[in-house]
Amino acid sequence: MSRLPFLFIFTGIFGFVMFQAASLFQLFDWLDEGIRGQSGWFHVHLFVLGWATMLAMGAIYQLINVILQSTVFSEKLGYIHYTLFTIGLTGLLFGFIKAEIYWIAAFATLLLIGILVFAFNMTLTLIRAKKWDAITISSACAVLYLVLTGLSGMAMGLNFATGIWIDYHENLFGAHIWLGTIGWFGLLITGFSYKMLPMFYLSHDYSTKPQTAILLLWNAAVIVGALSFLLGSGFWMKWIALLLLAAAIVVYNIHMQQIKKHRHKRNPGTGIKWAVYVSQALAVTVIGMLIYTFFNPEQLLDTRTVIFAGWLYLSGWVSLTILGYASKIIPFLWWTHKYGKHAGKPGNPVLADLLNESKVNVWMAAMSVISLFVLVGLATGSDLVITAASAILAVLSLVYIFLISRVFTR
Amino acid sequence: MNTTEQLREMLKEVYDPELGVNIVDLGLVYNVREEADGIYVQMTLTTPGCPLHDTITGGVKWVLSQKTDKEKIEVDIVWEPRWSPAMMSEAAKDVLGYF
């Protein structure tokens, strides 16, 4: 069995622990300070690249066979990707702490080359598999948006060093965030869910038509949103992008309910149930934001709204979904590695023996509830609530990831 | 010479580790027979690209090679007819909470 998923997943867990520990150490001051400073850059990139992207890439290498029924084009390129990406990210984070512009530039370049190697490997894997459905197209779009996120980040870095496109810096900044969050994570999570959810629910004979609608709406949201930032458009174009995104999320939730309705297994696993719940919460909150910003257009790009939306989407949806899925894919990975060759032998554990589901339920519930408190703090501007709730969330997250990591000792 | 029924009984020791149900009760085994030089198994999986593909086929080979005197075990994974939940035994439905 390939060691690639292990490398990415172990490093992702390390990144998650580092983020929570670093944030706890500073009592989440970086959230109060706004995200556009050294500390903000460091924490956001550690979270987004060191945790969420690292684990997502591990999951891609693990699940590519499941999605495409074909192996990855080159495992060697996968190791090169891991090396470039990890060294690039480590140097970039160090550069953010030290505010060393040339250090940042050098390691950001390594990081981008790592992403390009990944994109090249995935493109050839997809071309070879010749399997084009909503799952593979979503994954391909996600990788494309990741590349565009990296390129826009590099353009911003060049701006800092040379001032060449200084007038367009804000435009690039908005597009960079939108492409990375909504484009990369959004299409990857939804695309993989089309396969993962039916597999864990053992669902059959459900309609896959909503997948096409979600794919179109989500891509439209990404493109309209990114263009609105790049062209410096006003309120309406950004609001329409939010409307398209809200529509995509609603259809995604409807599709998840259809999959659930056609299930043949009562319990898909606690982590999967929570991934569904947080998607429902995302839908409700995004609709709320859509209505709120319609009547308060000046609030759409207000710093507090942006931080609220960023936290809701990244910590509330992306990260909790990944944590939920991790409770299934990590035991799967470990069981296959350790016990797969001995299937059928008496005394072999089943997957459920590797992780205590009721504990997963307790910690996922606790993290979700405390995440709501962080959002309340951000919405009301209460520093006390933000600090207290995010510190509790960090502790809960560390306990949860410890619980998941114990699978590797079974 | 093992009968088909005996071979199917042996295969009940191979479990889908995610579902916790053996592959015979899941309805994954379409055909199993002893031939002159080995054993032939035609089976499917619950979904194409199932991550337990190698694990389950490995388990089938291991169990049959241990419980019979045959060394050549051929496992043929097919996607037609497509597996459906209706193929599960009542025992499997009970375990999964099928309703």
Cβ-based contacts of A67 with chain B (< 8 Å): 49
Cβ-based contacts of B49 with chain A (< 8 Å): 65-69, 195
Contact across the interface for B17 and A199, Cβ inside 8 Å: no
Contact across the interface for B58 and A199, Cβ inside 8 Å: no
Give CA separation, A327 vs A39, A48, A138, A371, A406, in Å: 30, 19, 23, 19, 11
Q: Which of A55-59, A125-129, A281-285, A392-396 has the lowest mean pLDDT?
A: A125-129
Question: Nearest-CA distance from A200 to chain B in Å?
Answer: 8
DSSP A350: P
Confidence of residue A236 (pLDDT cuts 50, 70, 90): very high
Contact across the interface for A340 and B51, Cβ inside 8 Å: no
Q: Has residue A137 got a pLDDT over 70?
A: yes
What would the two tokens of residue A34 be? 């706004």
pLDDT digits (tens, 9 = 90+) for A61-79: 988 888 887 789 999 999 9
**Chain A residue with minimum CA distance to B88:** A264
Confidence of residue B66 (pLDDT cuts 50, 70, 90): confident
Total beta-carbon pairs less than 8 A apart between chain A and chain B: 82
Closest CA to A258 of A201, A178, A220, A331: A201
Percent of chain A with pLDDT over 70: 96
Cβ-based contacts of A332 with chain B (< 8 Å): 18, 51
Given A198, A336, A349, which is nearest B55 (Cβ)? Answer: A336
Q: Is B80 helix (H, G, I), strand (E, B) or coil?
A: coil
Q: Is B42 helix (H, G, I), strand (E, B) or coil?
A: strand
Distance between CA atoms of residues B53 and A191, nearest Å = 22
Question: Nearest-CA distance from B51 to chain A in Å?
Answer: 6
Give CA separation, A312 vs A183, A220, A320, B21, B51, in Å: 16, 21, 10, 39, 32
Please, what is the end-to-end C-alpha distance for chain A in angstroms? 18
Given A199, A340, A351, which is nearest B47 (Cβ)? Answer: A199
* CB contact B35 to A (< 8 Å): no
Closest CA to A389 of A311, A290, A323: A311
pLDDT digits (tens, 9 = 90+) for B40-51: 999 998 887 777
Q: What is the CA radius of gyration of chain A?
A: 20
The interface predicted TM-score of the complex, written ipTM, equals 0.80
pLDDT digits (tens, 9 = 90+) for A254-313: 999 999 999 888 888 899 999 999 999 999 999 999 999 999 999 888 888 888 999 999
pLDDT digits (tens, 9 = 90+) for B8-18: 988 888 888 78
Cβ-based contacts of A62 with chain B (< 8 Å): 51
Question: Nearest-CA distance from A85 to chain B in Å?
Answer: 27
CB of B79 closer than 8 Å to CB of B49: no
Question: Nearest-CA distance from B55 to chain A in Å?
Answer: 5
Q: Has residue B30 got a pLDDT over 90?
A: yes
Cβ-based contacts of A202 with chain B (< 8 Å): 19, 46, 85, 96
Q: Has residue A26 got a pLDDT over 90?
A: no
Q: Which of A97-101, A193-197, A206-210, A247-251 has the lowest mean pLDDT?
A: A97-101
CB of A226 closer than 8 Å to CB of A173: no
Given A200, A204, A335, which is nearest B85 (Cβ)? Answer: A204
pLDDT digits (tens, 9 = 90+) for A300-359: 888 888 889 999 999 999 999 999 999 988 888 888 888 877 665 667 777 778 888 899
Given B15, B46, B60, which is nearest A350 (Cβ)? Answer: B15
State pTM to two decimals: 0.90
Confidence of residue B65 (pLDDT cuts 50, 70, 90): confident
DSSP A349: P
Given B18, B48, B59, which is nearest A69 (Cβ)? Answer: B48
* CB contact B99 to A (< 8 Å): yes
Q: In what order do the strands lie in the sheet with B72-77?
A: B29-34, B38-43, B72-77
**Chain B residue with minimum CA distance to A197:** B47
- Greatest mean pLDDT range, A8-17, A338-347, B46-55, B75-84: A8-17
Predicted pLDDT at A164:
81
Q: Is A123 helix (H, G, I), strand (E, B) or coil?
A: helix
Contact across the interface for B55 and A267, Cβ inside 8 Å: no
Candidates A202, A334, A335, A336, partner chain B, best to mutate (most B CBs within 10 A): A202
Fold classification of B4-87 is: GMP Synthetase; Chain A, domain 3 (3.30.300)
Q: Phi and psi dihedrals of A6, rounded to 5?
A: -60, -45
Predicted pLDDT at A32:
59
Distance between CA atoms of residues B30 and A313, nearest Å = 46
Q: Has residue A165 got a pLDDT over 90?
A: no
List, in order, residues 6 or more apart from B80 with CB less than 8 Å away.
none
Candidates B11, B18, B47, partner chain A, best to mutate (most A CBs within 10 A): B18
Cβ-based contacts of B15 with chain A (< 8 Å): 343-344, 348, 350
Question: Nearest-CA distance from A1 to chain B in Å?
Answer: 10
Q: Mean pLDDT score of chain A, rounded to an integer? A: 90
Question: Nearest-CA distance from A250 to chain B in Å?
Answer: 27
DSSP A345: S
Predicted pLDDT at A345:
66
Contact across the interface for A343 and B56, Cβ inside 8 Å: yes
- The residues in B 2-31 lying below 8 A from A, measured between CB atoms, are 13-15, 17-20
Cβ-based contacts of B93 with chain A (< 8 Å): 264
Give me the residue spans of the domains in chain B: 4-87
Given B49, B55, B96, which is nearest A264 (Cβ)? Answer: B96
Question: Nearest-CA distance from A132 to chain B in Å?
Answer: 15
List, in order, residues 6 or more apart from A299 with CB less than 8 Å away.
A292, A293, A305
